[in-house]
Amino acid sequence: MRSRKPFLIFWPQYFDAKRSRGEGRRLPKNIALEKINIQEIAKAAKNLNYDVQIEEKLNYPRTWWDEPGRVLVNTKGKKKSKVIKELAKQIRKNRGKN
């Protein structure tokens, strides 16, 4: 098994505004996003100068039937709770440009 030591895992379900906390959302409703995918998370992480790896064929354990994929981000020692909020803000910024 490959080591993920410097990387933290971010599933799209963490950011999904339509989910409850029990269904996997990790952000407050006012920061959460709709229709999020792993490409948006990876792009936001790259914009924030993090190292990124995408794993497409894996399913979130709580909702194994949902769209697959997760993003591994090397956060350089930052806490996951801070990075997830940074990513959400960057995704909003990226969506605003389109």
Q: In the CATH hierarchy, which fold is given to the domain comprising 7-97?
A: Phenylalanyl-tRNA Synthetase; Chain B, domain 1 (3.30.56)
- As a 3-state breakdown, the chain gives helix, strand, coil percent values, each rounded to 5, of 40, 15, 45
Give pLDDT tens digits for 58-96: 988 888 888 789 999 998 889 999 999 999 999 999 998
Nearest to 17 by CA among 7, 27, 3, 5: 27
Phi, psi of 33 (to 5 degrees): -120, 160
**CA gap 79, 83 in Å, rounded:** 6
Give pLDDT tens digits for 14-65: 999 999 999 999 999 999 999 999 999 999 999 999 999 999 989 888 888 8
